[in-house]
Each structure stands twice: as C-alpha cells, then as structure tokens.
Structure 1
C-alpha cells in the first residue's frame, strides 16, 4: 500500500498529525503514548513528556540531536530511551509509535500475543509479533529488552503489563501497523465474547494476497463531468467519516457508487483510507479503468453487483469492530433486536472466506432487496443500498446492533422480537 507521502512534511508536523489520529481514535490517553522519527541526520524528533496529547502542536515536538543536545520547549518523552535503542538496533526503522491501546494492553496483562491470522491483511502488515518482558518504564533496561526484540526482526512488540511499540519505514507505515494490530486484538476479544474465534490458515492468507485485481484495460480518454466529480467528493467524505467513526481502518475498506448505467467510481487499492482524496478515486467505464490507477481488488464483485441489481447504487465493503466479532466466530448476527435493525437489514447471512474473490457467485446469489448485507467470515462486512449515505447508515445500524448483541452476551440470553412482531413490521414498513 502506498503510504502517506511525508517527504515534504517536517517531522514535527508528521508527529502532531499522527498523535492526533491516535488520540482521537481512542488508542491513547491525554498523558500516554509517544511517537518519534529519526531523520537523515540521525536526529530524533519525539513527543514531549507530560504534554496533553489532545492538543499537541508542532512547536511542542522535541528534537534530540545526534550528539545528545536537546532542542525544544519541553523535555523529551520519558520513554525516549527505548526509541533511541530501537533506532540503534534497527537502522532500517525510521519511525516508532508507542501507546497503550485497550485491546493490546489486555493482551499484555494476560501475557499473550494476538494471532494476526484473524484477518487477511494483518499478517503482512504486522508481521510476527515480539514480546518484551516487564521492566521499569523509562529505564535503560526496558530499552535494551525492547531493542533485543527488534533485533530479532520484529516490527511490532507487545510490552508486558504495559502496551505495545511498533516501528516502520516511515511514520505512515508505523501507524498503519499499530492501528491494524490493535484492530486484530479487538476482533479477537469481541469474537471471544460471543463465541470462539477461528483463524485463517497461511494458505488462505496467501490466496487472499494473490487476488491481484484483474487488470482492466485503461480508457484512452477520461471525462470528469460535474456529476462524476460530485460522486468523488461524496465517496471521499464517506470514507473519511468511516475512518473517524471507527468503521474503517487504514489497511482495509472499499466504497463504490454507481455513476451512469453500470459505470461506477470506486476507491483505489493503494492508498491509506483516511488519506484518500478525490483524485485517488478510480472511474470504471465500459469495463475500463481510469489510466494510471489501480482500483480495489474487489472491483469485479462491485461490478457484478451493479450489473445484477438495478436497485443497488452504492456498496461498502469494510471491517468494523463488532461486526467482525461475528465474522471471525461464524456466529449468526440476529438483527431482530430492535425494530430499526430489522427494517434496515432483515437478514444478514454469513458466507465463507473467499466468497468475495473474483469469479465467486455466493454473494451475488444472496444479495437482493431483502438481503442487502452479508458478513464474510474472517474478512469483512458488505453492505449495499441506494444512496451512499443510506448505505452508510445501514452499516452504522448493523454495527450498533452487533455492539448491543456483543455487550448483551455478558448479561444473559438474547430475547429477539418474536415472529408476530416481525410480521407486523413487514406489513407496515416493507409491503
């Protein structure tokens, strides 16, 4: 995946941008977590100690020069020693993210490492996960313990009774690894709440990675009339909103909207979702793609959905925290919880992993006006609809329903709306 282009961004600006994302995503606290970048001179730019992560400015970032000189208005993070130790152990690592995200802290206090085979993209993004035994925070010994794990080749490490630390080739790479690993942790925990998580085999993950999009021929000429440009803006806003709402992460998610007849616009396969811009979105017209762009690897599926379902004008394929609990546990999502859920969704079947690959018919045979969404095991949820905002609303309703069911699992047995009540809803709202 093409990472955020930070070549012309100062390290201070990169750090403040990413720490803001980490904080607003609920992955660290006001005082917790720290981020650093080592530049081409060997100087380390790092978040300050004891400064509010929710309002950090570029001017707050501290620079520790290669000779040890400290420049800035504040002290460097108390965890600076292990940042420095990681850079010394691994010259290929140029950025480090450390925080205390809830799911990974849960793993750290039960002394476990999350299995990234829970979702398809995580194994390649996160790699194998290291484990650092507990040492006093901010100590040189902790730095040594963590550096030894990175020396083994790990790019992500669970810190015993503490949190996690990840490294990357740049800050965009490190953040994506951090976010994806935490999502894995949450998916395993929520899946364990309602059932028993099932994991993908290495062969299944390899099969997913080999699903390189069938490269559509390129158009010779591209037109961008006003209605097409309006769709680009709409897609961008919904993707950004999904990321802000925790309904999509950097490494996975596709949105498409029908344009004219069976032509449509779709998100690309090579851009971090939260950074998608109008010019990144790919036009698909007469079975051809916009020149110089690679659309989502699920383009074939979207194309077939539009061909076979005239009532569908938008599709969202994504990973959300609580719906993924049903995806990885193969438990049935019973949306007969509250009237709105059933009216919006009716039935949400589970389909096997791989049902979304090019040439597969399972999903295409299931989708209809009465079945607007499916859960793909160990992969994602696919939601269809008329207007894109309505499709997004349907996704939100599905995720809220899954959250209520997951939370309710600790309280007692689910008591759904009974068949007579369902029939009343059908007559009033769907007839």
Structure 2
C-alpha cells in the first residue's frame, strides 16, 4: 500500500516522498536511534491519518536550526482512524477515530505513572521524552503521512466518543494533539485564573492557543505580543489586547493598557528563535522573551514556557546559543521569586477536558488559530507560507477527509 509523507530535505526544504507502509516494528531510518531499531510494537496500532498539522517546532528543523538529519519524516500532530490493531492492544478497536498526543509515552515508567508523559523514560534512548518525527526523539516516524504507526495505543490514544460528531469538528479536534494542550499548559503553568492579567509572547498558533486558554481559565485581560500585524489582528479577533514589540519595550505598551507596567502571569510561546524588541526587532536575540517576561511579570508570579528551547542550535548567531546557553537575567527572576515551568506539555493531562470543551461548544480553537486545511502535496508551499509569517495553522489532509467533513 502506498504511503506518501513529508520529509526534511535540508535547510529551507521539505518534499513529499514515498515511504514504506508501517509495520509493527520500528525500522532503521533517518534519525532512528540504533537502540530502537527492531523494537517490536505489538502494543501499537496503524492509523489512516485524517489530519496532521504543521507546527512551529517543525519549522525550527526545516530552517536548519537543529541537528535533524535529511530524510527525517516530519509530523507530531496527528489525528487518525485505526485501520490495524496490534496483537497486544485490548481496548482500541479498528475504526476508532482518535487523537494522538505528540508525546510518545509507555504508560509503565515512573514518570508516566506520575502524569509526566512528556518525559517518559522508556521510549527514547537519547533522553527522557519522545515525539513523532522529531530530532533526537528516538526515531519514531512522523505523521505528516497517509499512514502512521502509534505505539502503546491503549495508553496513548484519546478516542472520540462519537465519530460523526468528531468529523464535524475535526478542525478543532486536530488541535488536541499538541497546540491546544500546549497553550493550555503554558497558561496553567503561569498560574492563570479568574481575574488574571496575562501577557503571552508570540502570536503564532501556540501563542494564540495560550491566549484562548487564558480566556477559558477566566483571565480578565489577555495581552499578546508579536512582530507580525496579521497575527496580532487574529489575537484581537477573539478579544485579546495586543502589543507590537517592534515599536518598543512591551512594558511601556502594557502600562498603557493596564495602567501598570506588570502582569500577573507570563507565557513564552516564542522559544529559542526570539528576536529583539524595538529597534532590534529584526535581530535574533534568543534570551529576549525570557528576560522580558521576568521584567513584566509581578513579583511572586509564574512563567509558563511552552516555547521550544534546544540543546543544539547549529544556526545560532552566538557560540553559546549553539549549545542552548542563553544570557538570562536569572538574578532578576530570583529577586522577584518567579516560578519557571519549562519542557514538553504532558498532553494527556489536559486533552480529554479540552476535547469536552470543544464538543460542547465552549471554545472555538480552530477559528482562533485560523486553521486552514491543505492537501499533503501542498505541504511544501504551506511550510513556506508559515515560515513567511502567515497567520494560519496549516492542517494537512492526506485523504481528503477534512475537506469532505
């Protein structure tokens, strides 16, 4: 059976290629850790991919800003229909429509049992934590494809209770694999609650998901900062205040909005390719957002940091940043007794509740992030448009099921 997929083809390039149809065994290939080759996956299922999204984290690799090998099949945001079930799967059945957390987790290790599924100890020989189609994550094949293998299916998969209802809301539900829980995790980690004032750095899809989540959690004022006016306009479309960081320090603009230059809660949805503020807005300065958040978050506040930071960035302008070392004003954070929450979002902690919010019309995440469905063959153009700052969340539709719905 054919299986077209999107692969990394070198800095600035992706291509649609033919790859083998999945089997219940992890095969050798680009990025696969040798210790994972031959690993049996009788606890897994094979999905017909219904939708699979392009993520800002994918863009970091495609820009050549990680150590990702050429030929790596991309895609960690997956929603699909079960077409084959492994020997050891008990509860997930053929025909089920499911959301796949981007974290791959075994469900057996200490961290999984403590709900820390973003840092599972058993799926990646390189380090705790794993994901589909991502550099240094063990080599599990990505889901920007027609078909994909998902391990530990009974544990990992979120089954939608009504298939027809789910297909009607598929553009919303596809966000459950990553950006909606990730944005929600950023807001929860920052301590957002009823009446909070919140600053979200970054108006890409994760930033907009964090802003949406802040509203869902009861925030009084949500302020979103970015350099791209189209993205800021999208934030304003669902009730956010906005800050154009190219016009100066966010602190001054926040004071104009709130009357004080600080917020209760701060969220970094930018990550390691951050740029400066004001006159330096076109200059890469990877610690800018973190230092700014310490400056504008009240003493005793928390910083949720769902934005990606890496241990290896070969494209960094500074030697230290190539190893993930940033010039942080950590003394400021210490003086203000800030709490920092970093790392992969443990998707399973949130995705069922967020699914219920979608199914019962409590939130419109697809509208807020401007979800835009395109075919698998259109993936290279979608990557290029997203990289250019398009205010869209591109959803790949390998089998035309999103369009049909």
TM bracket (short chain)? under 0.3
Higher helix share: 1
Q: TM-score, normalised by structure 1?
A: 0.26
Higher strand share: 2
Greater length-normalized contact order (CA 8 Å, ≥ 6 residues apart): 2
Q: TM-score, normalised by structure 2?
A: 0.28
